[in-house]
């Protein structure tokens, strides 16, 4: 029997569209990984990231019994920081110093933002043909490659704490560790001469790189690391840096650890905030962490527009609103001072079709044919004060 009249029942039809409830991907910037040599009988599989939360979990995964090793000591230092990283991974090497293979185990761990090698100070060699990189060069290559592929990471390494004081200390250590300088600004190089876990011992060298990595990762992106405290080890007064050494190291992007007399009590603090970088545009840790977080937020927040948004005035206006919603929190937090999102096609679409120039029409046609839209985001970065120049003018 055919329907003669469209039935009104059930009067109101409601279809639930849950597409707007799909959560936007989030990136926790404080995720660190320490790669290093562990006990032969450790339960954790080699070249596999294992999350640790306290000393007990570290020992159960990477030690054999109660004897500490390079990896367990470094992980303990990471967790000793306050504030501490949001997540800590340990990765053990299959054989001593087999870093390249262990670092490759982090390739799929796309939440990692900082990486260090447990207690390692040897610069090593770069990849040559089928021969994998060694030492800290393997770490440098890992973070640069991963960052170029979209998983933004920063490596933290240290100058050998056992390098003795000398008249040419700064020149010597810069010559030794010079190959670690990163073209893309992905290296943090720490100087902690005489760093020790036990002030009464001359052999209990502390992994300053792991400790500093944990300290940096505990703060939000865009936070300057200058004068942030590093915990878990000491530097004897006789090995601490002179003012000339501090400025010499910091001037080349190395972060020396200092115990300033202006800060009450005794403690170690990051003496500067530079990156060991050859890129003049990426020369501070806080700048790079901010840019990494902003880039991820834009990619995660805008991916929902791909495949659904039309190249129309309404569609591109929605894109601009999305961008404002993504970047707005960075302004609210003080990380950036202001921003302007510019979409040239939106300006063209705001002009009546019969009033558009031939160039504007051609640009719009090309965009619709290639289905590509250009957006320029101008962000005014609110840099942090690192030095105050005060002029004191006493008078009678």
154 and 130 within one domain: yes
* CA quadruple 375, 147, 161, 215: dihedral sign: positive
In a domain, 39, yes or no: yes
Task: Look at residue 1 and tell me whether its pLDDT is greater than 70.
Answer: no
Q: Are residues 198 and 117 in the same domain?
A: yes
Co-location of 236 and 325 in the same domain: no
Q: Is the pLDDT score of 376 beyond 70?
A: yes
Asked if residue 262 is part of any domain, the answer here is yes
* Residue 352 in domain: yes
Distance from chain centroid for Cα 367: 34
What residues have CB less than 8 Å from 89, skipping those under 6 apart? 31, 32, 33, 34, 49, 50, 51, 52, 106, 109, 112
Instruction: Report the helix count and the strand count for the chain, using DSSP H and E.
Output: 11, 11
- Between these two residues, 114 and 280, which has the higher pLDDT value? 114
In a domain, 13, yes or no: no
Distance CA 267, CA 205 (A): 17
Number of domains present in the structure of the chain: 2
- CA torsion angle for 130, 131, 135, 139 (degrees, to 10)? 0
- Six-digit token pair at 111? 């939440």
By the 8 A CB rule, do 132 and 100 touch?
Answer: yes
Q: If you search the block for the tokens 């640790």, which residue do you land on?
A: 52
Q: Is 204's pLDDT higher than 80?
A: no
Query: How much is the mean pLDDT over the chain?
Result: 94
Per-residue pLDDT reduced to its tens digit, 300-337: 999 999 999 999 999 999 999 999 999 999 999 999 99
47 within a domain of the structure (yes/no): yes
Q: Which of 10-24, 66-80, 165-179, 204-218 has the lowest mean pLDDT?
A: 10-24
Q: Assess whether 165 and 117 both reside in one domain.
A: yes
> Both 271 and 311 in a single domain?
no
Is there a contact between 60 and 41 (Cβ–Cβ < 8 Å)?
no
User: Among candidates 21, 365, 32, which has minimal Cα distance to 218?
Assistant: 32
Is there a contact between 240 and 191 (Cβ–Cβ < 8 Å)? no
Q: Of 256, 290, 324, which one is at a domain's C-terminal end?
A: 290
* Kind of pairing between the strands at 187-191 and 254-258: parallel
Do 150 and 234 sit in the same domain of this protein? yes
Last residue of a domain, one of 264, 290, 316: 290
375 is written with which tokens?
């957006």
Other C-beta atoms lying within 10 Å of the C-beta of residue 216: 28
Express each pLDDT in 251-269 by its tens digit. 999 999 999 999 998 999 9
Taking only the tens place, the pLDDT of each residue in 274-304 is 999 999 999 999 999 999 999 999 999 999 9
Distance of alpha carbon 254 from alpha carbon 85, whole angstroms = 22
**Structural domain includes residue 5:** no
Both 235 and 345 in a single domain? no
Q: How far apart are CA 103 and CA 42, in angstroms?
A: 18
The mean per-residue pLDDT over the stretch 196-218 comes to 87
Is 148 domain-assigned? yes
Q: 117 has which bridge partners? A: 35
Q: 311 and 286 in one domain?
A: no
The whole-model pTM stands at 0.92
| Same domain as 314, residue 244 | no
Structural domain range at position 326: 306-381
pLDDT grade, residue 20 (50/70/90)?
confident
In a domain, 81, yes or no: yes
What are the Cα distances from residue 120, in Å, to 161, 201, 219, 244, 383?
Answer: 11, 19, 24, 26, 32
Q: Are residues 210 and 343 in the same domain?
A: no
Tell whether 199 and 310 lie within a shared domain. Answer: no
Do residues 59 and 138 both lie within one domain? yes
Write the CA distances from 237 to 169, 207, 217, integer angstroms: 17, 18, 27
């Amino acid at each position: 029997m055919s329907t003669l009249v469209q039935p009104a029942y059930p009067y109101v039809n409601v279809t639930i569209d849950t597409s707007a409830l799909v959560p936007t991907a989030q990136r926790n910037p404080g995720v660190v990984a320490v790669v290093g040599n562990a006990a032969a009988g450790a339960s954790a599989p080699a070249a596999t990231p294992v999350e640790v939360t306290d000393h007990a979990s570290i020992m159960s995964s990477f030690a054999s019994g109660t004897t500490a090793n390079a990896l367990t000591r470094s992980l303990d230092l990471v967790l000793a920081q306050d504030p501490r990283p949001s997540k800590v991974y340990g990765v053990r090497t299959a054989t001593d110093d087999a870093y390249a293979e262990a670092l490759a185990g982090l390739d799929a761990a796309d939440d990692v933002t900082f990486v260090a090698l447990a207690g390692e100070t040897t610069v090593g060699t770069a990849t040559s043909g089928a021969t994998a990189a060694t030492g800290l060069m393997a770490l440098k290559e890992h973070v640069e490659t991963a960052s170029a592929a979209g998983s933004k990471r920063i490596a933290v390494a240290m100058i050998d704490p056992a390098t003795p004081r000398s008249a040419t200390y700064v020149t010597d250590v810069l010559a030794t560790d010079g190959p670690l300088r990163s073209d893309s600004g992905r290296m943090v190089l720490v100087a902690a001469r005489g760093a020790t876990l036990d002030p009464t011992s001359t052999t209990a060298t502390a992994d300053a790189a792991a400790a500093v990595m944990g300290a940096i990762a505990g703060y939000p992106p865009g936070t300057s690391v200058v004068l942030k405290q590093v915990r878990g080890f000491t530097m004897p007064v006789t090995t601490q840096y002179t003012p000339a050494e501090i400025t010499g190291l910091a001037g080349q992007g190395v972060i020396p650890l200092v115990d300033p007399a202006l800060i009450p009590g005794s403690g170690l603090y990051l003496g500067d905030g530079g990156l060991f970088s050859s890129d003049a545009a990426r020369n501070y840790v806080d700048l790079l962490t901010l840019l990494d977080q902003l880039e991820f937020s834009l990619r995660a927040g805008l991916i929902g527009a791909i495949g659904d948004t039309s190249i129309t005035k309404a569609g591109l206006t929605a894109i601009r609103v999305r961008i404002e919603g993504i970047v707005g929190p960075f302004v609210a937090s003080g990380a950036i001072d202001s921003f302007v999102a510019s979409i040239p096609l939106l300006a063209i679409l705001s002009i009546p079709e019969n009033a558009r120039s031939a160039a504007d029409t051609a640009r719009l046609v090309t965009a619709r044919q290639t289905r590509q839209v250009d957006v320029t985001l101008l962000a005014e970065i609110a840099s942090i004060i690192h030095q105050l120049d005060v002029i004191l003018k006493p008078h009678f």
